[in-house]
């Protein structure tokens, strides 16, 4: 939880915020099945998203595991954050 928001809500809110500040239009609807590389956000956008999430959540899950993790969909991305949050 971040304040009153869950990890999921924080990710979705930050994702939309990053897209808006980069003037990027995200696919509509954005669902758990949305493929990240087809979401509308480019690789720089995702790098900014992960950095912003680290500021807000206090962790970068991708540096917490020695196995490479590469989420394909938005649902997998959120689940990975939720899983690593539980390990903090």
Partner 1 sequence: MSLKQSKFVQLLKANEDRRKSFELAVSMPSGRRMGALRLIDKARSIDPLLTSNLTKWRNATKQFFLTQFNATEERTQQWLDNIVLPSGDRLLFELLDDTGGTIGHAGVCNLNEHSCELDNFIRGESGGDPGLFVAAECTLLHWLFCDLGLETVSLYVFSNNWIPISNHISIGFSISKKHALSRVEKNDMVQHLLDSQEGDPVKYSYLKMTISSADFHSAQRQQLLNDGR
Q: Which residues bind partner 1 (CB under 8 A)?
A: 22-24, 36-47, 60, 62-72
- Taking the least distance from each CB to partner 1, the nearer of 5 and 60 is 60
- Taking the least distance from each CB to partner 1, the nearer of 1 and 72 is 72
What's the CA gap between 27 and 85, in Å, rounded? 27
What's the CA gap between 29 and 26, in Å, rounded? 8
- Taking the least distance from each CB to partner 1, the nearer of 3 and 28 is 28
Segment holding 30, helix H or strand E = none
């Amino acid at each position: 939880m971040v304040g009153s928001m869950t990890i999921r809500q924080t990710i979705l809110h930050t994702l939309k915020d990053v897209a808006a500040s980069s003037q990027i239009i995200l696919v509509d609807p954005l669902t758990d099945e949305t493929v990240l590389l087809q979401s509308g956000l480019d690789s720089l956008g995702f790098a900014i998203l992960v950095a912003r999430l680290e500021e807000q959540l206090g962790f970068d899950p991708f540096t917490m595991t020695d196995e490479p993790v590469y989420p394909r969909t938005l649902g997998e991305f959120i689940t990975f954050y939720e899983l690593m949050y539980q390990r903090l």
